[in-house]
Amino acid sequence: MAGDLTTRDERWQIRIRDLHKSFGAQHVLRGVNLDVERGKINIIIGGSGQGKSVFMKHLMGLLAPDSGHIFVDGQDIIGLGDVAIGKIQRKFGMVFQYAALFDSMNVVENIAFPLLERYRLPKTEVMERVRALLTRLDLASTAGIEQKFPAELSGGMRKRVGLARALIDRPEILLYDEPTTGLDPIATKNVDEMIRRTADEFGVTSVVISHDMASTFRIADRVAMLYEGVIVANGTRPEILAAPHPVLREFVETSGAVRFGGGPS
């Protein structure tokens, strides 16, 4: 099976096969199989402790599995050396759960940080790229935004600045870790729109870890459920709503946001 996945596939940018990971006696990933569609919003749902964060760390090469394969554009990243994995990691941007901005840096410094760490670019070029991105993300219209510190920003605004930092190095794939956690309904809707717009305008492949069913069924192109270390359901929104798996149905319906046989409540 692995040998069939070593060429670039125009539809599937990431392909995971039989991924296993244990920590001592705790078997977290028990044979994950999943294809991530290029240029689409792929959302992975599941309860706490089901391995979503561990899975995401494998995608970026931050954890090595006990066995299995992860193909990114046809290249198996498992077992690569530091230089090779570093090149793969440049394809990824990460939007952290609480934005993870540096408290001691203002907005411009936070966004510019990846460029200054990785490249020897003239400061004028870095600033041009930062300001262009602020404009594209509708942040430039906020008075004094460049000099504000994280503590001066709302939760939704911190998410946008975190997204800008993830996009500044022009990644092909964006990973979002629980992007709507801790936000009120209006801020959540704004973040959903931000994810959708970013996918459409920047053409990035989005992988979102979420337990927010309203957000998931509002913006996802594809949904997969991780349960007890395996993917138990995977497909488009209509396909997921037609899936018979009892744990999936309970997880989705208990949220109150989505009904099987229908759409968002």
pLDDT of 261 over the 80 cut:
no
Q: Answer yes or no: is 81 within a domain.
A: no
Query: How high is the pLDDT of residue 121?
Result: 87
pLDDT in tens, 35-50: 999 999 999 999 888 8
Count the domains in the chain: 1
pTM here is 0.90
- In tens, the pLDDT along 202-251 reads 999 999 999 889 999 999 999 999 999 999 999 999 999 888 889 999 98
Under 8 Å between Cβ of 150 and 111: no
Has residue 89 been placed in a domain? Answer: no
- Report how far residue 265's alpha carbon sits from residue 256's, in angstroms, rounded to the nearest whole number: 7
Q: Which residues pair with 176 in a beta bridge?
A: 95, 208
Residue with tokens 């602020």: 134
In single-letter form, the type of residue at position 157 comes to: M
List, for residues 99-137, the tens digit of each pLDDT value. 789 999 999 999 999 998 888 888 899 999 999 999 888
Full residue range of the structural domain in which residue 142 is found: 101-170
Per-residue confidence at 264, pLDDT binned at 50, 70, 90? low
Report whether pLDDT(265) > 80.
no
Residue 143 within a domain = yes
Bridge-partner residues for 75, per DSSP? 72
Position 179 in a domain: no
Could you give the CA distance from residue 19 to residue 41 in angstroms, rounded to a whole number? Answer: 22
- The reply to whether 129 falls in a domain is yes
Indicate whether 97 pLDDT > 90: no
* Whether the Cβ atoms of residue 245 and residue 233 lie closer than 8 Å to each other: yes
> What's the rounded Cα separation, in Å, for the pair 52 and 71?
18
Q: Within 13 Å of residue 177, how many CA atoms lie on the same side as its CB? A: 20
Average pLDDT, the chain: 90
pLDDT at 58: 94
> For 180-194, how does the pLDDT look when each residue is reduced to its tens digit (9 = 90+)?
888 888 888 988 999
Instruction: Please compute the mean of the pLDDT values over residues 14-19 and round it to a whole number.
Output: 97
- Phi and psi, residue 136, nearest 5°: -65, -30
The answer to whether position 40 is within a domain reads no
Tell me, yes or no, whether 130 lies in a domain. Answer: yes
Sequence-ordered alpha helix ranges (H) in the chain: 52-59, 82-89, 107-118, 123-136, 155-167, 185-202, 213-219, 237-241, 246-254
Comparison of pLDDT for 199 and 60, the residue scoring more: 199
